[in-house]
Amino acid sequence: MAGKNAKHFIDLENRYTAHGYHPIPVVISRAKGVWVWDTEGRKYLDCLSAYSAVNQGHLHPRIIKAMREQASRLTLTSRAFHNDLLGAFMKKLCRVSRMEMALPMNTGAEAVETAIKVARKWGYERKGITRNKAEIIVCSENFHGRTTTIVGFSTDPDANTGFGPFSPGFKIIPYNDPAALKKAITKNTVAFLVEPIQGEAGVNVPDDGYLRKIRDICTRRGILLIFDEIQTGLCRTGRMFAWMHENAKPDMVTIGKALGGGVMPVSAVVSSRDIMSVITPGTHGSTFGGNPLACAVGSASLDVLIDEKLGPRATRLGKLFRKRLHGIANEKVVEIRGRGLLNAIELKQSAGTAREYTERLMKLGVLAKDTHGQTIRFAPPLVITEKQIEWIIGRVKKVL
Ligand SMILES: *Cc1c(COP(=O)(O)O)cnc(C)c1O
Coil, strand or helix at 204: strand
Ligand 1 contacts CB of residue 233 (under 6 A): no
Rg of the chain over Cα atoms, rounded to whole angstroms, equals: 21
- Ligand 1, residue 112: give the atom nearest the CA: 10
- The residue-averaged pLDDT of 85-106 equals 98
Pocket test for ligand 1, best of 141, 144, 266 (most atoms within 8 A of CB): 144
Cα angle: 89, vertex 259, 283; to 5 degrees: 65
Read off the pLDDT band of 330 (50, 70, 90): very high
The Cα 118–Cα 147 span in angstroms is 17
Cα angle: 35, vertex 40, 41; to 5 degrees: 35
Pocket test for ligand 1, best of 151, 231, 236 (most atoms within 8 A of CB): 231
The Cα 298–Cα 261 span in angstroms is 7
Spatial contact of 266 and 260, defined as CB atoms under 8 Å apart: yes
- Catalytic-labelled residue, pool 38, 46, 121, 143: 143
Pocket test for ligand 1, best of 113, 141, 143 (most atoms within 8 A of CB): 143
The Cα 288–Cα 291 span in angstroms is 5
CA distances to 25, 200, 202, 298, 334 from 361, in Å: 12, 20, 18, 32, 19
pLDDT greater at residue 43 or residue 5: 43
- 197-208 pLDDT, tens digit per residue, is 999 999 999 999
- Does 4 score more than 80 pLDDT? no
Spatial contact of 34 and 388, defined as CB atoms under 8 Å apart: yes
Task: Please tell me the predicted confidence (pLDDT) of residue 372.
Answer: 85
Q: If we measure between CA atoms, which residue out of 196, 198, 194, 170 comes closest to residue 184?
A: 170
- Catalytic-labelled residue, pool 38, 228, 251, 370: 228
The Cα 177–Cα 200 span in angstroms is 19
Is the four-CA dihedral 166, 168, 170, 171 of positive or negative sign?
Answer: positive
Ligand 1 contacts CB of residue 342 (under 6 A): no
- Does 1 score more than 60 pLDDT? no
The Cα 113–Cα 269 span in angstroms is 10
Task: Please tell me the predicted confidence (pLDDT) of residue 5.
Answer: 85
- Does residue 228 carry a catalytic annotation? yes
Coil, strand or helix at 368: coil
Of all residues in the chain, the percent with pLDDT exceeding 90 is 98
- Does residue 38 carry a catalytic annotation? no
- The residue-averaged pLDDT of 79-91 equals 97
- 235-278 pLDDT, tens digit per residue, is 999 999 999 999 999 999 999 999 999 999 999 999 999 999 99
The Cα 384–Cα 55 span in angstroms is 10
- The residue-averaged pLDDT of 373-389 equals 97
Read off the pLDDT band of 3 (50, 70, 90): low
H/E element holding 182? helix 178-184
- The residue-averaged pLDDT of 184-202 equals 98
- Does residue 158 carry a catalytic annotation? no
Q: What domains are there in the chain, each with its CATH number?
A: 6-59+309-399 (3.90.1150.10), 61-307 (3.40.640.10)
CA distances to 8, 112, 156, 240, 263 from 146, in Å: 29, 10, 12, 25, 21
For 336-367, letters b (16+ CB in 10 Å) and e give bbbbbbbbbbbbeeebeebbebbbbbbeeebb
pTM here is: 0.98
- The residue-averaged pLDDT of 113-138 equals 98
Summary mean pLDDT of the chain: 97
Residue owning the nearest CA to atom 11 of ligand 1: 144
- The residue-averaged pLDDT of 106-112 equals 98
- In a 10 Å sphere around its CB, with 0-12 CB exposed, 13-18 middle and 19+ buried, how is residue 400 labelled? middle
Ligand 1 contacts CB of residue 50 (under 6 A): no
